Amino acid sequence: MYEKIKETARFLKDIGIDKPEFGIVLGTGLGGIVKMIEIEKSIPYHDIPNFPVSTVTGHSGTLIYGELSGKKVVAMQGRFHYYEGWEMSEVTFPIRVMHMLGITKLMVSNACGGVNPDFKVGDIMIINDHINMMPEHPLRGENDERFGPRFVDMHEPYNRKMISLMKATAFDLKIEVKEGIYLALQGPTFETPAEYRMVKLMGADAVGMSTVPEVIVAKHMGMDCFGLSVITDLGIEGKIEEVSHEAVQVAAKSSEMTISRLVEAFIAKL
Ligand code: HPA
């Protein structure tokens, strides 16, 4: 795996991806942040050696390199989900590559269901912690010390300084943001009412099908992580309605401009 990652990073360096500082994983319907990037390179995943190629509609599958608010960034337009059938090593492969390119800060975004009764559809939530309920751990198996230690410290999964900076940014821009715990389930089914209740009882504020494997692998390599969720539907007693992938995309899209403004100002201050 190490050699494959090295080969992919070498390829990207050779085509001109030079000293990026910040990695971004764009979740469902949040691809709009790309419009804020002065793009220097846009590489379809299928042209990148060893890269998995994503299949879900709404995830286009392009690696973007460019400048966002004066910082060199690499953004994944389209991520790999465990429910698609990828191995955890494939889901997290691009994060390993980002690290090998020299990236030390990662921002992840996603669409998710809110179970906190204070939440409404369209809310933006800063992820301040997570609960990993995926059926497989991305660090299971032999540990490669070149990436990081066997037992990974998780006392600060989401970087506190970046959380404070985003809160200050939101305050300055007069944008309301929520904060909470993200719980990851494998999907691809959305939750039953009983499962939403379980998620809430477990102490989470939101539930989704991604993000946590990427953050765990980033923490393995000592990266600082920051995450934003858009609440696209509610798993709250009395407010549970039919959900579909399309409805999730529409709801995420409606918050896209707001998120883009937040991220642009946030990165400028980093
Ligand atoms: N549950 C899980 N994943 C999701 C949801 C949800 O309610 N909404 C968007 N992604």
Q: Whole domain around residue 6: which residue ranges?
A: 2-269
pLDDT at 61: 87
| pLDDT above 60: residue 60 | no
pLDDT digits (tens, 9 = 90+) for 80-113: 999 989 999 999 999 999 999 999 999 999 999 9
Separation in Å, CA 218 to CA 28, 36, 95, 236, 253: 20, 24, 6, 31, 27
Tell me the three state secondary structure of residue 193. helix
CATH number of the domain residue 177 falls in = 3.40.50.1580
Pocket perturbation via mutation, ligand 1, pick of 59, 198, 209, 249 by most ligand atoms within 8 A of CB: 209
Ligand 1 lined by 233 (C-beta under 6 Å): yes
Q: How many residues does the chain have?
A: 270
Kindly state the tokens that stand for 128: 């301040």
The whole-model pTM stands at 0.94
pLDDT surpassing 60 at residue 20: yes
For residue 225, which of 206, 235, 241, 212 has the smallest C-alpha distance? 212
Q: How does pLDDT run across 195-209, given as a tens digit for each residue?
A: 999 999 999 999 999
Tell whether ligand 1 has an atom less than 6 A from the beta carbon of residue 112.
Answer: yes
pLDDT band at 248 (very low <50, low <70, confident <90, very high): confident
- Is residue 227 within 8 Å of 110, Cβ to Cβ? yes
Ligand 1 centroid to Cα of residue 47, in Å, is 30
Q: How confident is the model at residue 57 (pLDDT cuts 50, 70, 90)?
A: low
Share of the chain above pLDDT 70, in %: 97
At 30, the pLDDT band (50, 70, 90 cuts) reads confident
Ligand 1 binding pocket includes 30 (Cβ within 6 Å): no
Give residue 4's pLDDT band: very low, low, confident or very high (50, 70, 90).
very high
**Does the pLDDT of residue 78 top 90, yes or no?**
no
Total domains in the chain come to 1
pLDDT at 163 exceeding the cut of 90: yes
Q: How far is CA 181 from CA 113, 124, 167, 174, 184, in A?
A: 12, 13, 16, 23, 10
Pocket-testing residue among 134, 200, 243, ligand 1, by greatest number of atoms within 8 A of Cβ = 243
